[in-house]
Amino acid sequence: MRAPVQVIGQYAIYDKIASGGMAGVHFGRQMGAVGFARTVAVKRLHPHLAEEPEFAGAMIDEARLAARIHHPNVVTTLDVVATAGEVLVVMEYVRGESLSGLLRRTAGRQVPLPIASAIVVGALYGLHAAHEATNDRGAPLEIVHRDVSPQNILVGVDGLARIIDFGVAKAAGRLQETTREGIIKGKIAYMAPEQLAADEVTRAVDVYAMGVVLWELLAGRRLFDTGAQVQLVHQVLKGPVDGPGRHAPNVTPELDALVMRALARQSTARFSTAKEMADAIRRIVPPAFPDDVGRWVEEVAGEGLARRLDQLAEIESHSDVIQVPDREGRESRIIGSAAAASLVAPEPSSVSVETRTDAKVSRRVRHGLFGAIVVVAALATTGLVWRTGRPMPPSSNGGQTPSAAPPAPDERAPDTGPSTPWLPAPAATPTGPPAPTTSASAPPPATRRRVTPKPAASIRFAQPD
């Protein structure tokens, strides 16, 4: 059984999936009442950075921005947890692999054109949704990702490519500025020339970065591949760039020209929007269906996906009761899905000892309450007789409480003293022979409604001294 690394609020945090410079991404389980549970991805700020207001603020801003983007090609942000010493961003869990991981596993082989088209088109549509996002009042947020790269494109086994990690994104109204003067955020090999030159950054830098990604998918190699950062910067700013068709014969001149347009050093020469670039790719290379993309992902990353699936199956089968201190310091319980399901609808063979014990206690409480009610009723009856001097009327239905209402005062027999029982009014004179009297020890016939009991056979309550 795999135990959680930590439990924070309603989230149980498990093994790490990936790690970056600021944060790591973990398996997580969101636990709720009556057996509700689901697997999530939890982005957790590294402990040595969680106490730094700059990094904590940047991560919270990232979550705020991502939550404003609603699109299938952007990973959904579900929640943000900020506690003392912890900052968590809770996201949907996507079974898949990063594009960088997929490219490493292809070992320099060219990605099939329809697959490459589907991945890039999906990522471009996700970026366009980010570029067009607005705030609560409908004003443009002007989000620019600024760190588009294969590491930040997640390709799921469902065949969808998703943009992730808006940690260094630029946006209007951002609380924490992520770029200090003289510091460049992002990966140099995928930065547009104006971004490296610290000029104004617009959505065009994301279009340029997607041009680099498409070039590498088509050519099966890195576009800018050099070790020294100074040489890499010079290559991006001034170096010659060949079309991908020079390294991949199946790339048509039309597709080659499309890629070179996205890589134009002048931002105004590129596609004006990410959607415009995506539409142009679709016309030249129709994208593969999602099922085909999903199969390709499983073929390329099958071993890693299977290992991660085993981890996830072990986590999701976790049915322990996790003890978590609540706000008052007392222990509360987060119940795993399997345990909670048994509490909702337990089978007779699966009822725990604790459940049986609770049932016994519950039955004893019910029996005790019933006994107390009987005693109180008896005492109340005795007190009533003591106060009025009249015993309760005899029952005409074998000792059970009569269902009919008591007779009106004018129908009652005159009060003859404390020792005289209450007698019902005599019934009308019957036309036939008189009915025989019955003793108090035998129940009256079911057909007769009223029977005048003999005084000697009635029950009397003694008058207290």
Beta carbons within 10 angstroms of residue 220's beta carbon:
16
Which string of DSSP letters, residue by residue, matches 130-184? HHT-B-TTS-B---B----SGGGEEEETTS-EEE---TT-B-TT-SS----TT--
Give the DSSP letter of residue 431.
S
Here the tokens at position 405 are: 């209402």
Query: In the chain, how many H helices and how many E strands?
Result: 13, 11
Rounded Cα–Cα distance for residues 147 and 120 (Å)? 15
The total number of residues shown for the chain amounts to 465
- The set of catalytic residues is 147
**HSE-up (13 A, CA, CB side) for residue 305:** 21
For residue 366, give the DSSP letter.
H
Q: Is residue 173 a contact partner of residue 163, using CB atoms and an 8 Å limit?
A: no
Which pair of tokens denotes residue 193? 């020339």
How many Cα atoms within 13 Å fall on the side-chain side of residue 436? 5
Tell me which amino acid residue 54 is.
E
Crossing angle for the helix pair 113-131 and 204-219, to the nearest 10 degrees: 170
What is the Cα Rg of the chain in Å? 41
Q: How many CA atoms lie within 13 A of 270 on its CB side?
A: 27
| Cα 338-340-341 angle, rounded to 5 deg | 65
Angle at the Cα of 286 (from 282 to 289), degrees rounded to 5? 115
